[in-house]
Amino acid sequence: MARPLISVPATAKRGEIVEIKALIAHPMETGYRPGPDGRVLPRDIIRRFVCTYNDVEIFSADLFPAMSANPFIAFTTVAVESGTLTFTWTGDNGFSQSETATITVS
């Protein structure tokens, strides 16, 4: 299992714009790189990233091999209500992983 790292402020004022940072440990093998034996390693990347806020999609991304290993994405959202942010990464070889973070909005 790849290890995700997420930064979401624990508390926010209603209407405040909060910055969200999401990183996941993943090699993002491009499919163009030769391995130790000289043969090209097969592609293994994360193709999609989705963030939902209380089950409503607020941000998503389609990723390509030109993304760096351990893909990092930072974006913003308006803190509307207390709840859960769910982050999902899906990709090649059936890769799928989710992580959640809670935010308290006052």
Partner 1 sequence: MEIGMEPMTSVTRRQVLLAGAGLLSVLMVRPGRAAPTDMEAAIQAMVGKAEIRPGRVHLEIPPLVENGNAAPLTVTVDSPMTEAEFVKTIAVFNEKNPQPNVAVFHLGPRAGRAQVSTRMRLATSQKVVAIAELSDGTFWSDSADVIVTLAACVEG
User: What residue ranges bind partner 1 (CB under 8 A)?
Assistant: 17, 30, 32-36, 53, 56, 58-69, 71-78, 80
Taking the least distance from each CB to partner 1, the nearer of 74 and 102 is 74
Integer CA distances (angstroms), 39 to 31, 36, 44, 90, in order: 10, 8, 15, 26
- What is the largest distance, in Å, between two alpha-carbon atoms of the chain? 57
Taking the least distance from each CB to partner 1, the nearer of 64 and 106 is 64
- 12 pairs with which residues across the strands? 105
Q: Minimal distance in Å, beta carbon 5 to partner 1?
A: 14
Give the count of beta carbons closer than 10 Å to the beta carbon of residue 98: 12
Taking the least distance from each CB to partner 1, the nearer of 65 and 99 is 65
Q: Minimal distance in Å, beta carbon 84 to partner 1?
A: 15
Q: Are strands 4-7 and 11-12 parallel, antiparallel or unpaired?
A: unpaired
Q: Minimal distance in Å, beta carbon 43 to partner 1?
A: 10
